[in-house]
Amino acid sequence: MKISRDSILGLFFAVTGCVVLGIAVQYPFGTAGRMGPGFFPVIVSGLLVATGIGVLVRSVSGSVEVLSAINWKALIMVPAAIVVFGLAIEPLGFLPAVLLLLVLCAVTSVKFHIELKSAVGALAFTGLCTVLFIELIGLPIPVLGTWLHE
């Protein structure tokens, strides 16, 4: 039996969604007007399960692209980048930590090249995340950390 990328991805989405859904249902759900701590995780994990099932169905009914090799660089670097982000957010601040996360994840791709277009895109995405999470949502994280202040 040959395993396709879509079947692995669909299975990953469905299993991850089920695990998170199992945890999220333990929290109060609330209502649409007064959301409880379980509201958002239940909705997102339910959508993740539905997406996983949809991808699995597509992988069974469509043409099979056989999984040839595992990209070990990406498999190791992406979780490592998330750990680096968590460790860097306090000393560097939100903006540089997000930019570092983007660069570390991007270098795992064989298509990665440093170009003006990608640099501008990364800076724009970092700025958007900073405005969204710091200014609009109000996360108590400094934009620039202690290492970057005078």
**pLDDT score of 50:** 92
User: Using alpha carbons only, what angle is made at residue 65 by residues 59 and 69, rounded to the nearest 5 degrees?
Assistant: 120
Residues 125-131: contacts with CB within 8 Å, 24+ apart?
Answer: 125/98, 126/95, 126/98, 126/99, 126/102, 127/95, 129/94, 129/98, 130/94, 130/95, 130/98
pLDDT in tens, 17-56: 899 999 988 988 888 778 888 888 889 999 999 999 988 8
Mean pLDDT: which of 78-87, 109-118, 133-142 is highest?
78-87
pLDDT in tens, 59-87: 877 665 665 676 777 778 888 888 998 89
Q: What six digits make up the tokens of 112?
A: 């990665």
Q: How far apart are CA 83 and CA 105, in angstroms?
A: 12
**pLDDT score of 149:** 66
pLDDT in tens, 85-107: 889 888 888 888 999 999 888 88
Q: How far apart are CA 5 and CA 9, in angstroms?
A: 6
Q: How far apart are CA 148 and CA 140, in angstroms?
A: 17
Q: What six digits make up the tokens of 149?
A: 């202040």
What value does the mean pLDDT take over residues 115-122?
Answer: 85
- pLDDT at residue 2 greater than cutoff 70: no
What value does the mean pLDDT take over residues 115-130?
Answer: 87
**pLDDT score of 1:** 45
Q: So where are the chain's domains? A: 5-61, 72-148
